[in-house]
Chains A and B, each alone.
Chain A
Amino acid sequence: MERDDIIEYSLDAHHGEEEGRRIRRKIWAVTGLLAVVTTIEVAVGAYWKEWFDASAWNMIKLLYVVLTLVKAGYIVAVFMHLGDERRNIRAIILLPYALFILYLLWIAIWESNYVHHLWTEFL
């Protein structure tokens, strides 16, 4: 008996040769982008002291975080093809995660600032 309450989506994911060529071009473009970003990160990490002075460190940290988020965004959207899924599925995956992590980051930065202050003042 065929059940009508289970919808089989797996068979609809197929695509043809033409579509495949387009997708592969996109994959290689993203690969190039990830390689370039990683190269920049490593070069800056290893040699920034020769290129800039110590005051640049905070800007470099910020640059790292931004570049990491760019890389993560491309991996999730293109390699894990979340960008091609329906808006509902993107929302139920990204929003609860973002909610937890933004709170965790905020409390961790707040508390570690305080601990740092205590250690430098009283130790």
Chain B
Amino acid sequence: MAGEATKALSNDVLWGGGRSPFSISYGKMMMWFFLVSDALTFSGLLVAYGFARHATTDSWPIGEEVFRALPFIHGDFPLIYVALMTAILIFSSVTMVLAVEAGHRMDKKGVIKWLFLTVIGGAFFVGSQAWEWSHFIHGGGGYITTADGSKYWVHNDDHDTHDPANAAGFHLVKAMPGHYLKPAEGDHAHVEGAEALALWNERVAYIDGANMVRNEYGPPQYANFFFFITGFHGFHVFSGVVINLIVLLMVMRGVFHRRGHYEMVEKAGLYWHFVDLVWVFVFTFFYLL
């Protein structure tokens, strides 16, 4: 909330119009230019995702069916974990803007407090994303494809994916044709005992979890987009945390207080808000739509 600067300037240093056209410092303007180019990169990624999503409508996985787990708790929580991550990032954006505001009052203690909370929030987000990746890569047990092309989800009590057929409680659940995640309707969908073992033995493929080549959620591009978009964003968050940490240390050493202004906090803040802004779009276009 810097507002436009209101310095009275001598006409000798101004352009022909008699007033400064931008009233913004060099550093802030360059940060904005960088953010515009970075925004174009992210837009390119999301538009590419949208292209694949739109062209393949029916066989594309749906966010609320893929992401429905929470760490430490068993159960079914569609999108709750992603919503939690969104909330963490938005609140760390709020603490950042409060740090900038404190900087404009030359309130060093306030800047340290809010910037510290911002770093904590960012670290929580990066950690959450690591868990999300791990969960996505390990998957929920995987599915087999049989010779006639039908898919069966593999279940057992131990979540064993190396030798699931010999684990306790082994059974298969037929997946809806053309749809990767939805179990088929009716009694025949649930297969147990010798029948399940026979299907397992004549499988043509067992796909479990996710990697760059194939995944249990849908087309290979789905996991590739997930890794690339959330990975690229996660790397931005990580570098933002590092930048915020460096700025925090400089604030604590009184560098900006001696300089007479906290514009560095504001510039780091612009980057941090941008990271939050990108997540708002990733959240909508990758998880919700």
Question: Which B positions have Cβ atoms within 8 angstroms of A?
Answer: 1-7, 9-10, 12-13, 20-25, 27, 29, 32-33, 36, 39-40, 43-44, 47-48, 50-52, 54-57, 63-64, 78-80, 82-83, 86-87, 90-91, 93-94, 96-98, 101-102, 104-106, 260-261, 263, 266, 269-270, 273-274, 276-277, 280-281, 283-285, 287-289
Q: How many residues of A contact B (CB 8 A)?
A: 61
CB–CB B281/A72 < 8 A: yes
Residues on B with C-beta less than 8 A from A68 are: 280-281, 283-285
A interface residues (Cβ-Cβ under 8 A, vs B): 4-5, 7-17, 20, 23-24, 26-28, 31, 34-35, 38-39, 41-42, 45-46, 61, 64-65, 67-68, 71-72, 75-76, 78-81, 84-86, 88-89, 93, 96-97, 100-101, 104-105, 108-109, 111-113, 115-116, 119
B97 touches which one: A27, A72, A86, A93 (CB < 8 A)? A27
Contact partner of B5 (CB less than 8 A), chosen from A9, A16, A61, A93, is: A9
Interface on chain A toward B: helix, strand, loop, or mixed SS? helix
Q: CA separation between A65 and B7, bound complex, in Å?
A: 40
Known: A9-B5, A79-B273, A104-B44. 12 other contacts (CB 8 A): A10-B27, A15-B105, A46-B79, A64-B288, A68-B281, A79-B93, A81-B2, A88-B22, A100-B43, A108-B50, A108-B51, A115-B55
Are B273 and A75 interface neighbours, CB within 8 A? Answer: yes
* Residues of chain A contacted by B1 (CB below 8 angstroms): 15, 23, 26, 78, 81, 84
The residue of chain B having its C-beta at the shortest distance from the C-beta of A70 within the complex is B280
In the assembled complex, the CB of A27 is this many whole angstroms from the nearest CB of chain B, namely 5
Known: A8-B25, A86-B24. A97 touches B36 (CB 8 A): yes
Interchain CB contact (< 8 A) of B104 among A13, A76, A86, A115: A13
A9 and B266 contact, Cβ closer than 8 Å, known pairs A15-B105, A93-B36, A96-B36: no
Known: A85-B4, A112-B55. A38 touches B284 (CB 8 A): no
Nearest CB to that of B32 among chain A residues? Answer: A93
Cβ of A42 and Cβ of B83 under 8 Å apart? Answer: yes
Let me know if B277 and A13 touch, CB within 8 A.
Answer: no
